[in-house]
Structure 1
Amino acid sequence: MPDLETVRREIERMRIQMGRQRKEILQLQRAGLGTASAEALLSRMDAKVEGLCAQRDALKAAQPRATRGRVLGGRTW
């Protein structure tokens, strides 16, 4: 199972890709071309990101309490 940072990086990468995909869809729409397949790809990417977010939340909840919410060298609140 990937660690929390790996999942966070993957979410960030996928969100950047989704932004690029949205821009491409807008360009295709302006050109008057069909965008059904591009929109289907975007919806699959969105579902993947939602799954990664759920995985991230589960990993975050599974972390020991001592390592969550601490400032470097600071107190636990």
Structure 2
Amino acid sequence: MNKDQVKGQAKKMAGKVQEATGKLVDSKSQQAKGIKLQVEGKIQQGVGNVKEVVKDARDAQKEIVKSHS
């Protein structure tokens, strides 16, 4: 896992807590902020996933080049 994946997951969890808190205190504003934070977390986690795939592909390419040398 890379830092974007970790930070994204943390944002998603914080957003869920904030949304639930908003529901408990009947605050539409807090619920909306929580949902927004969850979306931001999903996006950041997705960016991290893409970075991880690119890194894995680059590592595989290096191994192929290395094995053919």
TM-score, normalised via structure 1 length: 0.61
Aligned residues with identical type, % of pairs: 5
Corresponding residue number in structure 1 for 2:37: 41
Aligned-partner residue type, residue 65 of structure 1: E
| 1:53 has 2:49 as partner | yes
Deviation per CA, 1:8-59, whole angstroms, max 9, x where unpaired? 1331132123212211211111211111233123212211211221111111
| 1:25 has 2:25 as partner | no
Structure 2, gaps ≥5 residues long: 65-69
Corresponding residue number in structure 2 for 1:3: none
Which runs of structure 1 show a deviation greater than 6 angstroms over 4 or more consecutive aligned residues? Answer: none
| 1:65 has 2:63 as partner | yes
In structure 2, the CA distance between the partners of 1:44 and 1:17, relative to structure 1 (3 Å rule), is closer
Q: Distance in 1 between matches of 2:17 and 2:55?
A: 32
Aligned-partner residue type, residue 38 of structure 1: G
In structure 2, the CA distance between the partners of 1:18 and 1:10, relative to structure 1 (3 Å rule), is same
Q: Distance in 2 between matches of 1:43 and 1:49?
A: 10
Which is richer in helix?
A: 2
Structure 1, gaps ≥5 residues long: 1-6, 67-77
Superposition CA RMSD, Å:
2.1
